[in-house]
Amino acid sequence: MKSKRIIASVLAAVMALTALVGCQNSGESSKAETSAGEQNTQANESTAPVDSYADIDDMISKMTVEEKVGQLFYVNCRGNDMSDAINKYHIGGVLLFGVDFDGKTKEEVNADINAMQSNAKIPLIIGTDEEGGTVVRASDNPKLRESAYLSPSETFANGGWSAVEDDAYDKAEFLLSLGVNVNMAPVCDITSDSDSFMYYRSFSSDANDTSRFVETVVKASKEKKLGTVLKHFPGYGDNGDTHYSDATDSRTFSELQNNDFLPFQAGIAAGADSILVSHITVNSIDSGNPASLSEPVHKVIRDTLKFDGVVMTDDLDMFAVDALDIYEPLSVAAFKAGNDFLCCGDIESEYNALLTAVQNGEITTDRLDESVKRILIWKRNLDIL
């Protein structure tokens, strides 16, 4: 009997020990499974798509309607004191002309631009036209640069593609050193008529050469964080100057697509920030409106060229649109057509007209936010936001 009790006790001890070990192994297994589960969750979280524009959306949600409308305006400076307009209308950008640089030292230009930026709640796009050749706003001032930039075609003739690239890098460094963050270039227009308005500003009469030029300038500028603007869509061709008259283009859509669109497409592929739309009426797209006020033209930019950046008007003070007899203010017509950024001089009337259109529901908040988002993304990409 005693031996049986001993055997039973031993068996009970073995069973208890086995159960204890089993519990420990089960706990360790459970911990391992939990740890693996946590790792899998963390892995899934790390690979989950991140909304890269969440900060922009948050910023927009905190803006007033007045501030949003102001961001749509790119105002001509032309030597005027911009502090009141910047504060009152919350403008998105300022376009500088020759008069804003003439006779000034680098320090004076810096001071002017810094003063404008200090007045802005949201940092400003500060742009100028520094194409080279016949259009030079800043480099024409000997106090800022020893000599003005040559035209792109002259630069190429002097040194080939490497010279074009070096010129683009140099322009970027020069403009950024002044406080300018956007160059209203490169010119994408193609023309072969020496009497046409755009002849001395265009790089070449060949679409492929012009496309390579545009690609080179955009890539070099982007590397330096200088904004670029492809102009003047859909392409001036051999047409006249819309600063002083209207102009009509009678080419077929196929001709434009196979020639004039190519430099714009090259610029888009290279990462261009913005496209400027001209005031030329292009019959094959919309015979009833200048391109800048044409919804079909803007559909071509978005749907055919697949461009999702900032689309801006040419100056709304130019004759080809300013002289139009239309039933609504130019800023409203231009925004409805699909533009994001409105270039103008008469900020007071154009701002108030667009604000009223938003407030009365003629323009939806979603449409307004869409353009503001594009502009703020551009500013963020330039490291100024």
Any idea what DSSP says for residue 76? E
First to last CA, the chain: 91
| pLDDT given at position 327 | 75
pLDDT interval class at 50 (50, 70, 90): low
Helices (H), ranges, 48-92: 54-61, 65-71, 83-89
Q: Which two tokens stand for residue 3?
A: 């031996």
Asked whether residue 28 falls in the same domain as residue 130, the answer is no
Q: Does the pLDDT of residue 242 top 80, yes or no?
A: no
Q: Does the pLDDT of residue 262 top 70, yes or no?
A: yes
In a domain, 46, yes or no: no
Residue with tokens 């030079």: 136
Asked whether residue 19 falls in the same domain as residue 133, the answer is no
In a domain, 221, yes or no: yes
What's the pLDDT tens digit per position in 303-355?
999 999 999 999 999 877 887 778 789 999 999 999 999 999 989 999 999 99
Q: Where is mean pLDDT largest: 25-39, 176-190, 237-251?
A: 176-190
State the Cα–Cα distance between residues 186 and 278, nearest whole angstrom: 14
Asked whether residue 248 falls in the same domain as residue 352, the answer is yes
Q: Which two tokens stand for residue 36?
A: 């693996």
In a domain, 315, yes or no: yes
In a domain, 285, yes or no: yes
State the Cα–Cα distance between residues 113 and 103, nearest whole angstrom: 15
Asked whether residue 3 falls in the same domain as residue 131, the answer is no
Asked whether residue 117 falls in the same domain as residue 10, the answer is no
pLDDT interval class at 241 (50, 70, 90): low
**pTM of the full predicted structure?**
0.86
Q: Tell me, what CATH number does 174's domain have?
A: 3.20.20.300
How many domains, the chain? 2
Contact 252, 282 (CB under 8 A): no
Asked whether residue 230 falls in the same domain as residue 339, the answer is yes
Q: Which two tokens stand for residue 374?
A: 């594009």
Asked whether residue 221 falls in the same domain as residue 264, the answer is yes
Asked whether residue 13 falls in the same domain as residue 105, the answer is no
Residue with tokens 């209207």: 246
Nearest partner of 317 among 65, 89, 97, 67, judged by Cα: 97
What's the pLDDT tens digit per position in 341-379?
999 998 999 999 999 999 999 999 999 999 999 999 999
In a domain, 11, yes or no: yes
| pLDDT given at position 20 | 38
pLDDT interval class at 8 (50, 70, 90): very low
Asked whether residue 161 falls in the same domain as residue 247, the answer is yes
Asked whether residue 83 falls in the same domain as residue 126, the answer is yes
Cis-peptide, bond into residue 90, ω within 30° of zero: no
Q: Does the pLDDT of residue 116 top 60, yes or no?
A: yes
Q: Does the pLDDT of residue 25 top 60, yes or no?
A: no
What's the pLDDT tens digit per position in 137-158?
999 999 999 999 999 999 999 9
State the Cα–Cα distance between residues 381 and 385, nearest whole angstrom: 8
In a domain, 309, yes or no: yes
Asked whether residue 108 falls in the same domain as residue 198, the answer is yes
Q: Does the pLDDT of residue 4 top 80, yes or no?
A: no
Nearest partner of 384 among 230, 176, 228, judged by Cα: 176
Asked whether residue 16 falls in the same domain as residue 133, the answer is no
pLDDT interval class at 68 (50, 70, 90): very high
Q: Which two tokens stand for residue 159?
A: 């040194």
At 313, phi and psi to the nearest 5? -80, 155
Domain membership of residue 4 as a residue range: 1-41
Contact 380, 118 (CB under 8 A): no
In a domain, 65, yes or no: yes
Enclosing H/E stretch for 313: strand 310-313
Nearest partner of 247 among 192, 276, 290, judged by Cα: 290
In a domain, 189, yes or no: yes
Contact 117, 123 (CB under 8 A): yes
